[in-house]
């Protein structure tokens, strides 16, 4: 994580913080507080801490990532050279604002789903901001969701384009099963026939793509009769508005909106001489 945070600092600081270098004397010490401006599930406070430590300041975490924070709460305190705190302020806030936005939405959806089906998982996708995926997935986790694949490398997921080129569900699964025994195999199904074929051909997980909630629920039951251990993921067209309707009939509900269309939570930094 430190390497990434060093890169992010370089992005913002570049050839130097011209404002602080001029306006703030080198030896002024300061104390800063990151204050929450909206109720939320906190995430990114750990990353914010690393930002300030990397710049040589001392950090006290007041609130814990993954727990609720209320408007007005101080979530983190930092003491150090005023120039260092000012150089890290924006990056630290950008972490907390975005990651808390994701964690808060995830928690809200997870709570709603769990009222109906306590065993279902709300999962993210690979629709993340390029270069920032590890932090967005961590925020999903802190919000109680499932991060799903970290990338193309850690599980087999056979999608419509793969199936079309491979020449069908069975053939695609036949090939995939030659892969390493250490990886799970998931396959996307766009029709009930494909879904059943997938279960029979040995998939570990079937993703029902763009099915309506009732249709998905019915099909799910049928597939579990074919093989009880099969996992059913529903995806496509699922939004905060309709997620509860999918809750009963699925093991996993995945939606891109967890990471690609989130509103940041507002936080600010208050600084004073120390």
Give, for 77, the enclosing helix (H) or strand (E).
Answer: strand 74-81
Closest separation between CB of residue 192 and its own copies, Å?
Answer: 22
- CB of 17 or CB of 77, closer to its own copies: 17
Specify whether the CB–CB gap between 97 and 15 falls below 8 A.
no
DSSP 179: S
Chosen residue from 30, 48, 199, 255 binding its own copies by CB under 8 A: 30
Q: State the catalytic residues.
A: 127
Closest separation between CB of residue 148 and its own copies, Å?
Answer: 6
Chosen residue from 96, 97, 189, 234 binding its own copies by CB under 8 A: 97
- CB of 75 or CB of 92, closer to its own copies: 92
C-alpha triplet 103, 104, 105: angle, nearest 5°: 95
Choices 63-71, 108-116, 214-222, 266-274 (CB under 8 A): range interacting with its own copies: 266-274
207 closest CA partner among 178, 237, 177? 237
> What are the φ and ψ backbone dihedral angles of 135, each rounded to 5 degrees?
-80, -35
Structure tokens at 183: 């990886």
- CB of 75 or CB of 120, closer to its own copies: 120
Residues numbered 140 to 199 that lie near its own copies (CB under 8 A) are 146-159, 161-162, 164-166, 172, 175-176, 178-184, 186
- Counting residues that bind its own copies (by CB under 8 A) gives 91
> Is 229 near its own copies (CB under 8 A)?
yes
> Is 63 near its own copies (CB under 8 A)?
no
* Residue 12: other Cβ atoms inside 10 A: 13
Chosen residue from 45, 98, 122, 249 binding its own copies by CB under 8 A: 98
Residues numbered 109 to 128 that lie near its own copies (CB under 8 A) are 121, 123, 126-128
Closest separation between CB of residue 156 and its own copies, Å?
Answer: 5
Specify whether the CB–CB gap between 106 and 11 falls below 8 A.
no
Strands 29-36 and 74-81: antiparallel
> Is 82 near its own copies (CB under 8 A)?
yes
> Is 216 near its own copies (CB under 8 A)?
no
- CB of 111 or CB of 214, closer to its own copies: 111
- CB of 118 or CB of 153, closer to its own copies: 153
For 139, residues 6+ apart whose C-beta sits below 8 A from its C-beta are: 43, 44, 98, 99, 100, 101, 102, 103, 106
Please give the full DSSP string across 23-52, using - where no structure is assigned: HS-TT-EEEEEEEE-S-EE--SHHHHHHHH
């Amino acid at each position: 994580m430190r390497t990434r945070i060093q890169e992010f600092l370089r992005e913002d600081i570049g050839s130097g913080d011209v404002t602080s270098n001029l306006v703030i004397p080198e030896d002024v010490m300061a104390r800063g507080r990151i204050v929450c401006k909206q109720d939320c599930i906190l995430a990114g406070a750990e990353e914010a801490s690393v930002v300030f430590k990397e710049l040589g300041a001392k950090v006290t975490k007041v609130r814990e990532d993954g727990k609720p924070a209320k408007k007005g709460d101080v979530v983190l305190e930092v003491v150090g050279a005023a120039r260092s705190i000012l150089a890290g302020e924006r990056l630290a806030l950008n972490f907390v604002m975005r990651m808390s936005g994701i964690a808060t939405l995830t928690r809200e959806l997870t709570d709603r789903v769990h009222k109906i089906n306590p065993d279902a998982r709300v999962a993210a996708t690979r629709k993340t901001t390029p270069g920032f995926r590890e932090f967005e997935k961590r925020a999903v986790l802190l919000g109680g969701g499932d991060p799903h694949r970290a990338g193309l490398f850690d599980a087999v997921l056979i999608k419509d384009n793969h199936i079309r080129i491979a020449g069908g569900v069975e053939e695609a699964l036949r090939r995939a099963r030659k892969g390493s025994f250490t990886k799970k195999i998931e396959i996307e199904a766009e029709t009930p026939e494909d879904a059943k074929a997938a279960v029979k051909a040995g998939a570990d997980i079937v993703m029902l793509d763009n099915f309506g909630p009732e249709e998905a629920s019915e099909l799910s039951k049928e597939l579990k009769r074919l093989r009880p251990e099969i996992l059913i993921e529903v995806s496509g067209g699922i939004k905060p508005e309709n997620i509860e309707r999918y809750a009963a009939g699925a093991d996993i509900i995945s939606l891109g909106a967890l990471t690609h269309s989130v509103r940041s939570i507002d936080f600010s930094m208050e600084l004073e001489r120390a």
